[in-house]
Amino acid sequence: PFSASDKHDIGHIWEKVAPNVDSLGEEAMERLFKCHPKTKTYFSHLNVQHGSADIKSQGSKVLKAIGHASQHLDNLDEALSDLSDLHAHELRVDPGNFHLLCHNILVVLAIHFPKDFTAHAHAAWDKFLACISETLYSKYR
């Protein structure tokens, strides 16, 4: 359900994110943990202190998965199938947490790419991240 202009805006911003997945991913995770400290409980085996290598690596993995998804907009279920198994069966992340992370990713995009983050791009990314989230918790029972 992505229009041609949605796809354009998703791809255009992704190209700007791609070279910066470490720092932008780290910032999104830090904002998530600051605004919603309970989300840290899923990462209790990692170091979630400010500036930790674990946060950087987790944020980078999340953004790279989003980049992968951006190349498969018409086929998210298949593109994210393994990740969806992981979140549903192993990590068992409460579905209510996904929109919190998505919101913080949008905030990071808005701060770093203010010119590109038009209302239309905002809406396209909001839809894109919601579709990713829906795919990641689609296998929950």
Torsion angles phi and psi, residue 50, rounded to 5: -50, 130
Contact of 60 with 26, CB cutoff 8 Å: yes
**Residue 83: which of 128, 133, 123, 120 has the closest Cα?**
133
User: Looking at 2, 97, 106, 131, which residue binds ligand ZNH (CB under 6 A)?
Assistant: 97
With CB under 6 A as the contact rule, the residue among 10, 39, 59, 125 that binds ligand ZNH is 39
Q: Closest distance between ligand ZNH and the C-beta of residue 33, in Å?
A: 9
C-beta closer to ligand ZNH: residue 24 or 62:
62
Burial 68-92 (b: 16+ CB within 10 A, else e): ebbeebeebeebbeebbeebbeeee
Q: Would the CA dihedral through 35, 76, 23, 14 be positive or negative?
A: negative
**Is residue 42 involved in binding ligand ZNH (CB under 6 A)?**
yes
Whole-number minimum distance, CB 38 to ligand ZNH, in Å?
9
Contact between 84 and ligand ZNH per CB under 6 A: no
Among 14, 33, 98, 128, binds ligand ZNH (CB under 6 A): 98
Give the interface with ligand ZNH as residue ranges (CB under 6 A).
Answer: 39, 42-43, 58, 61-62, 65-66, 83, 86-87, 91, 93, 97-98, 101-102, 129, 132-133, 136
